[in-house]
Chain A
Amino acid sequence: MVASSPGNNSAVLRWAGLVLVGLTLLALPFALAGVGTAWVRITNLAILFIFLSLGLNIVVGYAGLLDLGYIAFYAVGAYAYALLASPHFGLHLPFWAILPIGAAVACLFGVLLGAPTLKLRGDYLAIVTLGFGEIIRIFLNNLSSPFNITAGPQGITLIDPVRVGAITFGRTDIFVGLVFSGPVKYYYLLLLLLLAVIVINIRLQHSRIGRAWEAIREDEIAARACGINTRNIKLLAFAMGASFGGVAGGMFSAIQGFISPESFVLVESIMVLSMVVLGGMGNIWGVIAGALLLSFVPEILRYTVEPVQRAVFGRMLVEPEVIRMLLFGLALVLMMRFRPAGLFPSRLRRRELTQET
């Protein structure tokens, strides 16, 4: 019945579809909370990974710059939030003030790291960004002495939850007979932010800047010949990507209430990269799908692999965590081999990547 009359009804259908998607997303946390609030939490973390993937997608997918230290910007955003809203320095700024600060600081770091490295060729750039990512983590881990700035490996505790007016996101409230637990409230906030991020991404992709990024990705020299200021445009990609990472980091701080450098290790960078590659570099919806898929994989594995192994072998032979890491690795290898444009390739990318360069 849906596919019968695509012609003149298409506008109506499109709106009906969007409304339905919207309602679904709005109802989702209550359905999930019915199963368990833990699922709302898992969904929230998945949305954070969508942020990260979309941010990295700008750098890797649009501009074609392989950034292996992306998680550093997430860390910077997280620490910006934690330092400005926790008893560590006794500062308690409201979240709407910190989130832009976090994004701005991450953006600054993006420019600082980007500026000296952008003239490097692709694979060197990858290694150098990896190095920068590690350097930032090492600094976060060691700036507890001689003067205590980041609390070092001890991490920062008691980070303020988000507060909007009288609503504290850490607590459970009841509105119109519905139970809004902390994670559910965060879900809506994240959904709102996600909407903004997606809109920005779509607008960027189709803007002059987006086209310039693609031009640079395809042929930097030709792009420069066309009058594109490649340096600035590449820096912009780094800065935009980093800001998204910074926002995600800030939200992570608020949701977790505790952060320490061990949450920002290299593996996390590679995880985000896997999501982007799996979904299809340069394709917003593909990347979102990739992020969701790989975020829920550990949970899915927990409910499938474990019981199956126990039933078949009587004990657990391969831990779900190991299978997850193997999947990340294999995703990278197999995608590059068989579907370089991702599971859900953008039309443009598919065309590009099937041709030999």
Chain B
Amino acid sequence: MNTAVKTLTLSVVAALAVVGCGKKEEPAPATQAVAPAPQEMVVKLGHVGPLTGGIAHLGKDNENGARLAVDEANAAGVMLGGQKVKFEMVAEDDQADPKVGTTVAQKLVDAKVAGVVGHLNSGTTIPASSIYSQAGIPMISGSATNPKLTEQGLKGIFRVVGRDDQQGPAVANYLMSNAKPKTVAVIDDATAYGEGLANEVEKTLKAAGIKVLAREKGTDKTTDWKAVLTKVKGARPDAVFYGGMDATGGPLIKQGRELGIKAVFAFGDGACTDKMSELAGAAAEGLICSQAGIPVQAASPKFLDGYKAKFGIDPILYAPFTYDAAGLIIDAMKKADSADPAKYLPLLEKSSYQGASGRIEFDDKGDRKDAEMTIFAMKGGKVEPIAIIKGGQSHTVGDYIKAAGESMAAAGGAAMDAAKSAGEAMKEAGSAVKEAGKEGVAAAAGVVKEAADKAKAAVGK
């Protein structure tokens, strides 16, 4: 009826609400205190990725990777500081939105996680990283490729995937050595990812003395590339590189072929999917594209089998990397004998870890040393890996898997005394070679496979 009374009632309600909130805080620590049984200590690990929205399937894939590592560690049993540890994953959804990303990062800090795997996009990872760093919580991204992430100089921020400025040169070098272009047109979609990658490609090409046309751009929703491509056609390039996603890259290559552009088309990992042939039909045939890291099918068989067994599907893209990111954190904790970030972070920095995506070591910035890059080509409507580039050298996929299989078997052998039984190691070697056999490279695979099968049978009995 009058404002004074209204104000007062409102304030009372508000005050009650605040008190209500204040009360809620008490049970929170209480549950924390109850949860760890006397012998078992709960260590929380965070994972963040978009679980809703346009790339939710990739976010889920990332989460599955990390979850697999955590579950395996729990199954194996980890002791830290004389206490048995149960790892618990706190999965959050950042909707691929920078604003939500920081909020969610704060939530993980509030939840006192001991380490974070994520985020998926560079756009959310960069603002979130400063929150983790300030809270002293190590963060490892398995898929944020923007160089800026680690160029910020923040402590405790890592990635296990290659940077755009490693992927760019890789695809550019491959293009140069195979298509031998004199003039290249570079196009991007004016997003952080597309532009960043295109810049790196341009830099590499220019450094090699190749003429690069003035940059053309669309947006991440552009479907009409004809005007841009017509201009490009007028300059008669030998190759066209596009930094962007498949949804825009598909129409781009289709319209390019319609206009009669004969150049080689090359793309980054965003447009390195089977969707390209769905969108562009026959026009997509023969395109070249790159992915940061190894192709999923070249990940360790232990990971691939574990993933399939646990989730009933095959990993999509970055799951091996988030699996390794979680593995790295757990491994560093084991070495430090503590889940305290302050204690295990120095050991994480010095990691030398054999993961599903190969051996991982970090440089001073927190980037992965010698990150692999893979080159794919579109064949019969599917993108197929044709080369893996590591340490500046190009390997065919078959060779790489074979080599990885051998080193994995060796690693398995070394670890035998510690934990693994001989049968398991043999099984691993066997399935590694099985993979290799699928690729049609290992001539003697059959023999080894037989041996492995026998070993497996023996273990089975």
**Do A's and B's CB atoms come within 8 Å in the complex?**
yes
The chain A residues found within 8 Å of chain B, CB to CB, are 2-3, 6, 10-11, 13-14, 16-18, 20-21, 23-24, 27-28, 30-32, 34-38, 41-42, 45, 141-142, 144-145, 152-155, 157-158, 170-172, 182-183, 256-258, 260, 262-263, 316, 319-321
| Contact between chains at B12 and A2 (CB < 8 Å) | yes
Given contacts A6-B1, A256-B98, contact A171 B15 (CB under 8 A): no
User: Nearest CB to that of A19 among chain B residues?
Assistant: B11
What per-residue 1/0 map shows which CB atoms of B1-40 lie under 8 Å from chain A? 1111101111110110011011011101000000000000
Given A17-B8, A35-B25, A41-B106, A144 and B195 contact (CB-CB distance below 8 Å): yes
B5, A3: Cβ atoms closer than 8 Å: yes
Nearest B residue to A256, CB-CB = B127
Contact between chains at A37 and B21 (CB < 8 Å): no
User: Counting CB contacts under 8 A, is B139 at the interface?
Assistant: no
Complex Cα spacing A17 to B4, Å: 7
A21 touches B5 (CB 8 A): no
Interface residues of B in 124-156 (CB under 8 A from A): 126-127, 130, 134, 146, 148, 152
Q: State whether B109 touches A257 (Cβ < 8 A).
A: no
**Complex contacts, B98 vs chain A, CB 8 Å:** 256, 258, 260, 262-263
- Whether B273 is near chain A, meaning CB under 8 Å from some CB there, is no
B194 CB contacts on chain A under 8 angstroms: 153
0/1 per residue, B94-109, Cβ < 8 Å to A?
A: 0100110011101101
Q: How far is the CA of A52 from the CA of B291 in the complex (A)?
A: 41
Interface of B is mostly: helix
Chain B residues within 8 Å of A, Cβ to Cβ: 1-5, 7-12, 14-15, 18-19, 21-22, 24-26, 28, 52-53, 95, 98-99, 102-104, 106-107, 109-111, 123, 126-127, 130, 134, 146, 148, 152, 190-192, 194-196, 215, 217
Q: Are A152 and B99 in contact (CB under 8 A)?
A: no
Contact between B130 and A257 (Cβ–Cβ < 8 Å)? yes
In this complex, which of B10, B21, B24 has the most chain A Cβ atoms within 10 angstroms of its Cβ?
B21
Do A158 and B134 have beta carbons less than 8 Å apart? no
Query: Hey, which chain B residues are within 8 Å of A263, CB to CB?
Result: 98-99
Closest residue to B7 on the A side, CB-wise? A17
Bound Cα distance from A153 to B148, whole angstroms: 12
Find chain A residues with CB under 8 A from B127 CB. Answer: 256-258
Q: How far is the CB of A48 from chain B (nearest CB, A)?
A: 10
- Chain A residues with Cβ under 8 A from B12's Cβ? 2, 20
Taking CB as reference atom, which chain B residue is nearest A155? B192
Q: A6-B5, A154-B195, A262-B123 are in contact. Are A141 and B134 (CB under 8 A)?
A: no
Does B195 lie within 8 Å of A21, measured CB to CB?
A: no
Interchain nearest-CB distance for B364 vs A (Å): 18
| Bound-state Cα–Cα, A16 to B4, Å | 9
CB distance from B442 to the nearest CB of A (A): 42
Q: Which residues on A sit within 8 Å (CB–CB) of B102? A: 41, 256
Q: Which residues of A contact B103 (CB under 8 A)?
A: 38, 41-42, 45
B52 nearest CB neighbor, chain A only: A319
The answer to whether B192 and A260 have CB atoms under 8 Å apart is yes
CB A201 to nearest CB in B, in angstroms, measures 17
Give the contacting residue for B134; candidates A3, A171, A319; CB below 8 A. Answer: A171
Chain B residue with Cβ nearest A42: B103
Verify B21–A32 contact, CB threshold 8 A: yes
CB neighbours of B148 from chain A (8 A): 154-155, 157
- Sample of 9 more A-B contacts, CB < 8 Å, known A38-B104, A154-B192, A263-B98: A6-B4, A13-B4, A24-B18, A30-B22, A36-B110, A41-B103, A41-B106, A153-B196, A256-B98
6 closest cross-chain pairs (CB), A and B: A34-B25, A17-B7, A17-B8, A14-B4, A20-B11, A36-B110
Interface centre among B15, B106, B148, B195 (most CB of A within 10 A): B106
The distance in angstroms between the C-alpha atoms of A23 and B21, with both chains bound, is 15
Q: How far is the CB of A22 from chain B (nearest CB, A)?
A: 9
Contact B104–A153 (Cβ < 8 Å): no
Which listed residue, B9, B95, B123, B190, touches A155 by the CB 8 Å rule? B123
Interface core residue of A6, A24, A30, A263 (most chain B CB under 10 Å): A24
Q: How far is the CA of A27 from the CA of B123 in the complex (A)?
A: 34
Contact flag A154-B146 (CB < 8 Å), given A20-B12, A45-B103? yes
Q: Which residues of A contact B11 (CB under 8 A)?
A: 17-18, 20-21, 24
In the complex, what residue of chain A is closest to B18 when comparing beta carbons? A31
Query: How far apart are the CA atoms of A14 and B11 in the complex, in Å?
Result: 11
- B2: contacting residue among A10, A16, A20, A36, CB under 8 A: A10
Look across to chain B and name the residue whose beta carbon is closest to the beta carbon of A183.
B106
Which residues of B are found within 8 Å of A182, using beta-carbon distances? 134
A141 proximity list for chain B (CB < 8 A): 190
Chain B: CB-nearest residue to A9: B4
Residue of B nearest to A153 (CB): B192
Residue pairs across A and B with Cβ atoms less than 8 A apart, 21 shown, are A6-B1, A6-B2, A10-B5, A16-B8, A18-B7, A20-B8, A20-B11, A20-B15, A21-B14, A23-B15, A31-B18, A38-B107, A38-B109, A41-B102, A45-B103, A142-B217, A153-B194, A153-B196, A157-B148, A258-B127, A263-B98
